[in-house]
Structure 1
């Protein structure tokens, strides 16, 4: 029987993994800040040393892109220091670490999907601290699989899909940026990929960096239009706007589509199109 430790278990991805674990014959230990402060190296060492997990799935992160511009030290603590703590504990005990990173490590100047070999150049505090986390994991020497993902949403917590559902129900019009392009990713699809790799032991010998998002490409405007259409919120008019018309503290990459060839080739995963997964998520939300 495998023992699998999940950190950040109350977030979007951790919540999806918790749901999947109910059908597993293996042993899962779910922790969030109340059970384990991942920024405390001694606490991480104590728990990992006593539990001796085979796999650690690190879903803990500082993900508020805007606030990170004012709280970069706090973001760094969760995105870099905590990742390093878990990685070093994994190295000492022989565990394999699954670490989650982001498309925001890129500057968005490309015109083709980013591969794992492409140069990184983050534009924001969030992107910088997440890239620093990747480097901390690599420096630890632990067995690790790093998964970069993008535009994550789910039934859990706050996210773009749920915000658009609320706004298009409440307002007669909204404006959404149309010149930032990427791929919405349903957290349930990423969780299923992580779960399948862990459950099957397919991580052994396949350590490295991987990209995972849903298939397809769209702008935030396109995503918002599809959400409203599927939800029947036709009374709300959605207007496209340029990034410069909607100023934010954090600079986002204009293009952050990820190439998923490596993860498909290595693990044989089938990745749904983002519209298909969006509709599935909306159906689940309607049943809540």
Structure 2
């Protein structure tokens, strides 16, 4: 910026040859970079897929749960572990504060990964390869994915999504052969758990209800906040919870309640009615669960002892 006004008539002066030369060079370089950027996107295959579908949270959750049930071979710390077939569709659901499921993929095989969010915007960052994508609710973002190196990769959320953001770490395991499963403690994860036998017009036993409740806990993502190992950083742990006396806030006042079946039903259907003291900053969202699934969750919580 000049301290003084330019001399009158400067605009009409002819541009010198060297200035014209640099202006032409700069223009040519800009055009070349613009064309190169387009060619790099089309032929370089270094950019993420631009395939995106509009969806709803309920619809994608239903597809994700069905996919997980079909491909689940075990559970890792409350997160379902799936092993999809090569050249198949893989569904990944992000939510506060977990990625689900854990994926076991085959080296040098292609997968079509569908990613969406159940609540807010998350960042899908695969480390240590430093691949980063945005994940939005109500959008199905499709990525063509072909792992070329075996190993364990972490999925980190790099978009701040709330108080449990730092705990939102997923996992992708890439194997070259069956022996690699031992490296991650997955050597017994070779087939899905046997389904419960069908009973016609016969009520389920408490044990069967609890097993179904554990499946609901895993598939619905309850373990993202409610742990079963005694830790309670984000929300109350479930082990030893049933029958326990809890301090809650109801209508702005502190009161005590006993955790029974009625309290659990109310907490799932209307989680803001009674908020556990100490967890006021992590309000529980309303989850789309049926009355039958709630009864199964109650049966499962009853089995969790200290």
RCO (CA 8 Å, sep 6+): is it higher in 1 or 2? 1
Using the size of structure 2 for normalisation, the TM-score is: 0.22
The structure richer in strand per residue is: 2
Larger Rg, first or second structure (1 or 2): 2
